[in-house]
A and B are shown apart, each in its own frame.
Chain A
Amino acid sequence: MSLNINNLHVKLEDEDKQILKGVTLEVPAGEVHAIMGPNGSGKSTLSYVLSGRDGYEVTEGSATLDGADLLAMEPEERAAAGLFLAFQYPVEIPGVGNMTFLRTALNAQRKARGEEELSSGDFLKLVREKAKTLKIDAEMLKRPVNVGFSGGEKKRNEILQMAMLEPRMCILDETDSGLDVDAMRLVADGVNALRSPERSFLVITHYQRLLDHIRPDVVHIMSNGRIIKTGGPELAIEVEQNGYGDLLAEVG
């Protein structure tokens, strides 16, 4: 599955503020791409616009997933089409059990794709197996969605959802934020276990350290609403050593 973003211009719906000013990007099937960039460069906006959050207006350009127009779909349709966004700040939903949530989501997607819904027995088996590799215990599965979870637990829960829903295009929005070294390794291992020739990743991060664990094929540098440089993993190391200053100066 490949994601194609072409000359994407996005402004805030409620104010006259342009956030993305012509992003062009292609993530072919099976590849892991990273987007790095200073604060306010538009990285998170890109992830929200791709997944269909309200509050943004696309003024120009396109985004397609295997040729299908992402921007014309509702968020749930994008999910059923294989897109997944791991949130920077996963949302707490009191009163809704994590299991109920996962099962509702999984079966909704299956239904949307015309597949059989999973029986409770099969679902339980699947969720236990996936949870185990992410060191998510039964107690965490029973608790309400993300309520009382530590930062690390919330991010692991995001990866569990990803593992259960088996999307083909995963966007990770600063999944490393708020994680200690061990938690980051656990999350990275979870992501790496999901890498496959059919699945692509777009990893948004501030720091190179996550990319030590999730090795990207391509690194993009974003600044002021545009991709200003694209390169291999070495680009991330360059940023880590020299900051964004040199790169920004380079493009003027």
Chain B
Amino acid sequence: MADTAVLAAGAKPAAKTGAGDAVLAARLDALDLPVGGFTAAARKDAAARLQAMGLPGARDEYWRYTNPAPFNAPLPEALAYTSRESSLFDGIDRLKLVFVDGVFDAAASDPLTGEGMQIDILSTADAGPAHWAGDLYGKLETSGQTPVKRPFAVLNTLAAQDGVLIRVTGKVARPVHILYRRDGQATDVHVHHVIRLEPGAELTLLETGGIGARSNTVTEVEIGKGARFHHIASKRADDAKLGIGHIFARVGEGALFKSFSLAVNGRVMRNEGVIEIVGDDAVAHIAAAVLGDGNEGAFHHDDTVFIAHAAERCESRQVYKKVLKNGAEGIFQGKILVKPGAQKTDGYQISQGLLLDEGSQFLAKPELEIYADDVKCSHGSTTGALDETALFYLRSRGVPKEQAIVLLVLSFLADALDEIEDERLRDDILTRLDEWLTSRAKG
């Protein structure tokens, strides 16, 4: 039955008048929507906004390269997953928060206490009428709807069943690690996290594991004056999944935002990063390393990034690297918007595709929109094959071809990995990538 429903919705042209409403109605109908306590007003508002904007159609400008049909379908496709638990960051002292099929598992998690921060769980906190996160839940998401509509983020605000709420008041040395586990085969998961860093605070947030067969995540991050936020996300390798993730960040004066994500195979994934720099002298970096093999299931990975500069002397970087083979598709849509008055902005964007065969493709749509006259903004995008000369150089030193390709792939990804500031975390990711690539090269 589930399969029929997926096919029916997927085949429908959502852009046609009337049909869009039906798609949305069917989508909402299949969900168990929470009423919410402190989030009730935000959820109600989201319901109204979603009705007004509808779900995306293939003709929407920012959905031209990624078919929204699998995300519009009322029920997710059943996708088998590997039950192997991710051991990434195991050697690092961290506070673990476990979510199973998108629901917090207290028994499997560490106690919700940490020096310099207050942690609450959305489903628990939302039983009450008031919470500090009430000022933020759905707020950054809402402001991130201009100028580009992001209907799935609205859907998430409306439908989120769980998430973490973290208020950071001090410099937290121990990273908070959200570990996702999958139990069901056809789970449709909506997770919504809210994070506020008070002035001068610092937090490292790690996310690993498989969230669900189909997942929709929203993370809202407010970064106060001089605060520093580091984010590293790695979704379980080879885990078949449909995922759409959003991160909405507001970066204050002299603050730092750094987000890195790693994706290794999957199916259809879309990550949207929406960052607004509102305080002077702030820094925002967002990066991703993506490896996709079309033979592991039609691989399609889309990064859609929007960074708005609304203050002076701020720096932003977007670094996206995708390694694609066997018909895999990589998409990058990245924009830097420099608002009037955002003088001395230093904006940089690079997106690169490494195609390991002729059947794969990388599509990039870089955009710059600048309304200030004293700024430095640059962007670059390249698509290419492995450098034959470098490959020969390595082989001539005795490195077997497969191993040489692994080295060149790691070399290609290096700029993105360098965006991880913490050396231990970067080494962990690098080691894992190396092992994964090497095992693949042999197989």
Chain A residues at the B interface, C-beta cutoff of 8 Å = 51-54, 74-76, 78-80, 84-85, 87, 90-91, 93-96, 100-101, 104-106, 108-109, 112, 144, 161, 165
- Give, as a whole number of angstroms, the nearest-CB distance from A189 to chain B: 22
**Complexed CA–CA distance, A90 and B389 (Å):** 10
**Complexed CA–CA distance, A50 and B415 (Å):** 35
Task: List B contacts of A90 (CB < 8 A).
Answer: 393
The 6 closest A-B pairs by CB, nearest first: A95-B414, A79-B398, A109-B398, A75-B395, A105-B397, A95-B411
Task: List A contacts of B418 (CB < 8 A).
Answer: 95
**Complexed CA–CA distance, A96 and B409 (Å):** 10
**Complexed CA–CA distance, A75 and B397 (Å):** 8
Task: List A contacts of B392 (CB < 8 A).
Answer: 52-54, 75
**Complexed CA–CA distance, A109 and B398 (Å):** 5
The residue that B399 contacts in the complex, of A53, A76, A85, with Cβ under 8 A, is A76
The residue that B411 contacts in the complex, of A80, A93, A105, with Cβ under 8 A, is A93
User: Given A95-B413, A95-B415, A96-B411, are A104 and B395 neighbors across the interface (CB < 8 Å)?
Assistant: no
**Nearest CB to that of B404 among chain A residues?**
A76
Kindly state whether residue B410 has any CB partner on chain A within 8 Å: yes
Task: List B contacts of A112 (CB < 8 A).
Answer: 398, 400
Whether the pair B398, A94 counts as a contact (CB closer than 8 A) is no
Whether the pair B410, A76 counts as a contact (CB closer than 8 A) is no
User: Given A91-B389, A95-B415, are A79 and B410 neighbors across the interface (CB < 8 Å)?
Assistant: no
Task: List B contacts of A109 (CB < 8 A).
Answer: 398
Most A-side CB within 10 Å, residue of B387, B393, B412: B393
Task: List A contacts of B403 (CB < 8 A).
Answer: 104, 108
Kindly state whether residue B408 has any CB partner on chain A within 8 Å: yes
Task: List B contacts of A93 (CB < 8 A).
Answer: 390, 393-394, 407-408, 411
Whether the pair B411, A104 counts as a contact (CB closer than 8 A) is no
Kindly state whether residue B59 has any CB partner on chain A within 8 Å: no
A-B contact pairs, 11 of them (CB 8 A): A52-B395, A74-B395, A74-B400, A79-B398, A85-B396, A93-B407, A104-B403, A105-B399, A108-B398, A109-B398, A165-B397
**Nearest CB to that of A83 among chain B residues?**
B396
Kindly state whether residue B3 has any CB partner on chain A within 8 Å: no
The residue that B390 contacts in the complex, of A51, A54, A91, A161, with Cβ under 8 A, is A91
Interface string of B331-367 (1 = CB under 8 A from A): 0000000000000000000000000000000000000
Given contacts A91-B389, A95-B413, 5 further A-B pairs with CB under 8 A are A93-B411, A94-B411, A96-B407, A106-B398, A165-B398
The number of A-B residue pairs with CB atoms under 8 Å apart is 81
Kindly state whether residue B139 has any CB partner on chain A within 8 Å: no
User: Given A76-B395, A95-B413, are A101 and B407 neighbors across the interface (CB < 8 Å)?
Assistant: yes
User: Given A96-B407, A101-B407, A108-B400, are A79 and B393 neighbors across the interface (CB < 8 Å)?
Assistant: no
Task: List B contacts of A53 (CB < 8 A).
Answer: 392, 396
Task: List A contacts of B417 (CB < 8 A).
Answer: 95
**Complexed CA–CA distance, A106 and B399 (Å):** 8
Whether the pair A104, B401 counts as a contact (CB closer than 8 A) is no
Task: List A contacts of B394 (CB < 8 A).
Answer: 93, 101, 105
User: Given A54-B388, A91-B389, are A108 and B399 neighbors across the interface (CB < 8 Å)?
Assistant: yes
Task: List B contacts of A106 (CB < 8 A).
Answer: 398
**Nearest CB to that of B430 among chain A residues?**
A95
**Complexed CA–CA distance, A95 and B410 (Å):** 7
Task: List B contacts of A144 (CB < 8 A).
Answer: 411, 414
Whether the pair A80, B414 counts as a contact (CB closer than 8 A) is no
- Give, as a whole number of angstroms, the nearest-CB distance from B397 to chain A: 4
**Nearest CB to that of A86 among chain B residues?**
B396
Task: List A contacts of B415 (CB < 8 A).
Answer: 94-95
Task: List B contacts of A101 (CB < 8 A).
Answer: 394, 397, 407
Task: List B contacts of A165 (CB < 8 A).
Answer: 397-398
Whether the pair B398, A105 counts as a contact (CB closer than 8 A) is yes
Task: List A contacts of B387 (CB < 8 A).
Answer: 91
The residue that B414 contacts in the complex, of A74, A75, A94, with Cβ under 8 A, is A94
**Nearest CB to that of B413 among chain A residues?**
A95
The residue that A74 contacts in the complex, of B390, B401, B412, with Cβ under 8 A, is B401
- Give, as a whole number of angstroms, the nearest-CB distance from A157 to chain B: 11
User: Given A95-B411, A96-B407, are A80 and B398 neighbors across the interface (CB < 8 Å)?
Assistant: yes
- Give, as a whole number of angstroms, the nearest-CB distance from A24 to chain B: 24
**Complexed CA–CA distance, A79 and B394 (Å):** 10
User: Given A54-B388, A74-B401, A76-B400, are A91 and B393 neighbors across the interface (CB < 8 Å)?
Assistant: yes
Task: List A contacts of B390 (CB < 8 A).
Answer: 91, 93
Task: List A contacts of B396 (CB < 8 A).
Answer: 51-53, 75-76, 78-79, 84-85, 87
Task: List B contacts of A76 (CB < 8 A).
Answer: 395-396, 398-401, 404
Whether the pair B414, A104 counts as a contact (CB closer than 8 A) is no
Task: List A contacts of B407 (CB < 8 A).
Answer: 93, 96, 100-101, 104
User: Given A54-B392, A87-B393, A91-B390, are A96 and B410 neighbors across the interface (CB < 8 Å)?
Assistant: yes
**Complexed CA–CA distance, A95 and B415 (Å):** 7
Q: Which residues 397-437 in B have Cβ within 8 Å of A in the complex?
A: 397-401, 403-404, 407-408, 410-415, 417-418
